[in-house]
Structure 1
Amino acid sequence: MRLSGAHRLRLRLLAQGVGGGPGCRRPGRRPPAGRTDGLPVRLLLLSGRPASLCARAHRESGGVRPFLHPDQPSPLLAVPFLGPLVERTHRKGLLILCDFGASALCALLLLFPGPPLPFLLTGTMLFHLLSHLFEIASKVLFSELCPPERLSSLNGIKSLLDHGAAVLAPAAGALLFGLCGFRAILLLCALAYGLSALQECFIPYAPRPIQQAEPPRLRAGIRYLLGRRELFSLFLLVMALNFFVANSEEIIFPGILVELYQFPESRYGLAVSASTAGTLLASLFLIRAAHLRPLEHLRALFLVNSALMAALGLAAPLLRFVPKLYFVLFFTFQLLIGWLTACINVPLISYFQTRVPLEQQGRFFALLAFFSGILIPLGISYTGVLADWLGPGAAYACNNLCVIVLVLLVRLPA
């Protein structure tokens, strides 16, 4: 079977340890638009991707060698139905249940090494489901616990902690694995999830009474979203970003920096980490400057962010014979892009938490997670084909030009 250029590039990067697998997370990785990583207390010394845990456990026990992902579609199909469950259930109790469940699964892998494949896949699907449930419930709980006027600054603190963990976790996890082995990582995960659940028991929480004429149904949540033009426009924009932009570190950046410019791994890691540095700086800024209301400048932020990405893509083939100049340009632009991305994502989440009624938030965030989970892998496949046809730089520019057109067409909050 003949491999396309994009597939050959992917295999080469995997062999070099640069591109990472679907279950890997690199320091420069940003969460998809409109998504965050649960509560900051869940800072583990790992990537936070349970599939990689289970696949690694099976490989260590002499099981199959290829990385398996048939566990992902089934939990994703159940995600929309988690919204009504979150709305009718005690949110704090759900968080505790999710963390205790994750701790128990890690403990089972630790106590019974070399599980059969059906058990492994079932456990991984349950891990994914618990992760989605925790994410949705934590966002709704955040809306309940935090005053609306403080949501922006508190989400800034949360963004700072989440991205700080994304920088430190892979390095700390790799160091621990090298020193103590994989079983030590499983033990740490079991303890971390257990301590997280224990800490959540002490969160002061009195559920707000939710006035609903009938039990929450998914169809009613979809009708609510379609009936709010401004909210639906933002929802579509978030989905477009997940489709066109969230694939950058899987396809675009390795294609430009490694395949086109032949940069070594150390320089590649430094370049893609610049966006995380920008996000951390922006999170600090948003904590202190929530009064500036970046949501009022959302259209301009989107346009400038996408224009920088498009310019970076167009410059890739033009500066091919001046690699040092392109590296400096890439690093600088990624720093700015990380800053702008945080200035978009943090206010956007705060907007959803304040404008969507509490009785609809579970279904809204469940739909957001569901469509993001579908569109990100579709975007990776589409961008891989486009990069194989046009080249990674041109594909990056085309994707962001599509985002610019969409931003100009949709109605954004004033």
Structure 2
Amino acid sequence: MKELQQDNYHSIHCLLISRSFSEFGFAMYSITLPLIILRMTHSLSKSGIFFSILAIPVLLITPFTGVLVERVSRKALILICLLINTCVLGIQLAAYLTDIMRFNLLIFLAIIVAVIISLSDIATRVMFSELVPEKSLEKFNGIKSLIDNLSSFAAPMIGTTIYAFNGIKFVLTVVLGCLICAIFSLSKLRYCKQLSPKNDKINFFKDFKDGLTFIRSKKEVLKIAILAMSLNFFISGTDDIINPGILIKKYGISKSLFGLSQTMFILGVIFASWFVSHNKCINLHKKMPQLFVANGITMILIGLASIFMVLVPQMFFITFLFLESMVGFLTILVNIPLTSYFQSKVPINYQGRFFAFFSFTAQVSIPLGIGLTGVLAQQIGPDYAYIINNLLVICLVYFVFGANKH
């Protein structure tokens, strides 16, 4: 048993190291992609078309990727995903070197990268459940979150700097180096988990339907999943609608200072990820309802501060930055036990389909939420829209968790 645990801990560390390289590389690629499109097309409308087209295949394919994740070795699948994306980005680099890169080719290559990243992410979540004991899920999800968010914090600055001075060819070279390191790290992972189901041929539509039937049968898990989807819906417009509407449109904060809002949020996220990875005294799962409510109340306070501090804009901005860091902190304190809950409560042979379904609902609810928030903010103001959205989230939390007490 001790040897098995040692193997598991060795494997999870290999997986985390591999993910740190791949996430850093993909974060660099993602931040430079809009710059590439704009430079290639000189058109914001074509950039919008590009990213709209990019989102559609991922949305359509994601619900069925869980079936594949459950039928093959997760290690082999993640390795294959890394190899495919290495080849695709290698082709992209070769196209730039030979000056044959075109808009349509870039769309095709970017779609492959996006679909493969989505598939790999689902496989990674399932592998976490296999390798990490239930009591350690929050700790290692905290470490994973810390890695992901440090990458999202550092990689954009590094990627845009490299792009500005050396161009896309050098960026792609660095990204390819990161993916090669990720492949090497993952190849050291010791992994021999049994797959399920074992013998039946893959029938994506039948297996997908069976997965939905299972999800519907698990009432408590379904309630929490719907709550998470609702949270995505109601707060998805924060970065795109609420914060710009309050800071830039209402308070006239300069665009250079506006970037501090995201910086403070990410710093809160990073600190929370570190806290969770070292936490030994607080049961975050049992505190999940309170954390949901605390997160909603903090966002409501931002809206109230925007309404009542109009005459002291500098004081409001300082208050906003502090509360935004708290939102980042509390968001992770909600997300990590939420993910750990799903990993512990959903059987391994259904997790691929569950997380695929969960990712799909997020991909649908987020743009819908942004659209609704935009309309609401236009009608009543971004601060009032923020307050209403989060009051609805708190009501949903009470409905899901409060109803279970009766």
* Alignment match, 1:233: 223
Contact 1:57-1:109 at 8 Å conserved across structures? no
**Shift of residue 298, structure 1, vs aligned partner:** 0.9
Change (3 A) 1:57 1:257: closer
Q: Quick one: which amino acid aligns to residue 175 of structure 1? A: T
* Alignment match, 1:39: 19
The structure where helix makes up a greater share of residues is 2
Q: Which runs of 5+ in 1 are unaligned?
A: 1-35
Aligned partner (choices 132, 143, 165) of residue 157 of structure 1: 143
Aligned counterparts, 1:59-208, within 5 A = 60=39, 66-67=46-47, 68-69=50-51, 70-113=53-96, 114-208=100-194
Q: What are the superposed Cα offsets for residues 258-294 of structure 1, whole Å, 9 maximum, x if unpaired?
A: 1111112332222332222222222222122144211
Q: Quick one: which amino acid aligns to residue 123 of structure 1? A: L
| Cα distance in 2, alignment partners of residues 58 and 348 from structure 1 | 36
Aligned partner (choices 347, 367, 390) of residue 337 of structure 2: 347
**Shift of residue 196, structure 1, vs aligned partner:** 1.2
Matched-pair identity in %: 30
| Cα distance in 1, alignment partners of residues 303 and 292 from structure 2 | 17
* Alignment match, 1:301: 291
Contact 2:86-2:176 at 8 Å conserved across structures? yes
Tell me the TM-score normalised to structure 2 length: 0.87
**Shift of residue 46, structure 1, vs aligned partner:** 5.9
Tell me the TM-score normalised to structure 1 length: 0.85
**Shift of residue 315, structure 1, vs aligned partner:** 2.3
| Cα distance in 2, alignment partners of residues 411 and 118 from structure 1 | 48
| Cα distance in 2, alignment partners of residues 376 and 58 from structure 1 | 23
**Shift of residue 379, structure 1, vs aligned partner:** 0.9
Aligned counterparts, 1:233-252, within 5 A = 233-252=223-242
**Alignment root-mean-square deviation, CA:** 2.3
* Alignment match, 2:5: none
The reply on whether 1:333 has 2:323 as its aligned counterpart is yes
Q: Quick one: which amino acid aligns to residue 278 of structure 2? A: R
Change (3 A) 1:212 1:232: farther
SS in structure 2 of the partner of residue 396 of structure 1: helix
Aligned counterparts, 1:274-285, within 5 A = 274-285=264-275
**Shift of residue 164, structure 1, vs aligned partner:** 1.2
Q: Quick one: which amino acid aligns to residue 81 of structure 1? A: F
Q: What are the superposed Cα offsets for residues 80-106 of structure 1, whole Å, 9 maximum, x if unpaired?
A: 110000000111111111111111111
Q: Which runs of 5+ in 2 are unaligned?
A: 1-15
Contact 1:98-1:130 at 8 Å conserved across structures? yes
**Shift of residue 117, structure 1, vs aligned partner:** 3.6
Aligned counterparts, 1:354-373, within 5 A = 354-373=344-363
Contact 1:271-1:334 at 8 Å conserved across structures? yes
Q: What are the superposed Cα offsets for residues 299-338 of structure 1, whole Å, 9 maximum, x if unpaired?
A: 1111111011112113213211211221122122112222
Change (3 A) 1:118 1:181: closer
| Cα distance in 2, alignment partners of residues 107 and 281 from structure 1 | 35
* Alignment match, 1:404: 394
| Cα distance in 1, alignment partners of residues 138 and 326 from structure 2 | 20
Q: What are the superposed Cα offsets for residues 92-141 of structure 1, whole Å, 9 maximum, x if unpaired?
A: 11111111111111111111134344332222221111011011001111
Contact 1:102-1:130 at 8 Å conserved across structures? yes
SS in structure 2 of the partner of residue 112 of structure 1: helix
Segments of 4+ moved more than 4 angstroms: 48-52, 55-65, 211-216
Contact 2:88-2:109 at 8 Å conserved across structures? yes
Q: Quick one: which amino acid aligns to residue 43 of structure 1? A: E
The reply on whether 1:314 has 2:300 as its aligned counterpart is no
Aligned counterparts, 1:258-269, within 5 A = 258-269=248-259
Q: Quick one: which amino acid aligns to residue 384 of structure 2? A: A
**Shift of residue 43, structure 1, vs aligned partner:** 3.4
Q: What are the superposed Cα offsets for residues 358-387 of structure 1, whole Å, 9 maximum, x if unpaired?
A: 000000000011110111111111111111
Change (3 A) 1:125 1:353: same
| Cα distance in 1, alignment partners of residues 305 and 37 from structure 2 | 44
Change (3 A) 1:360 1:290: farther
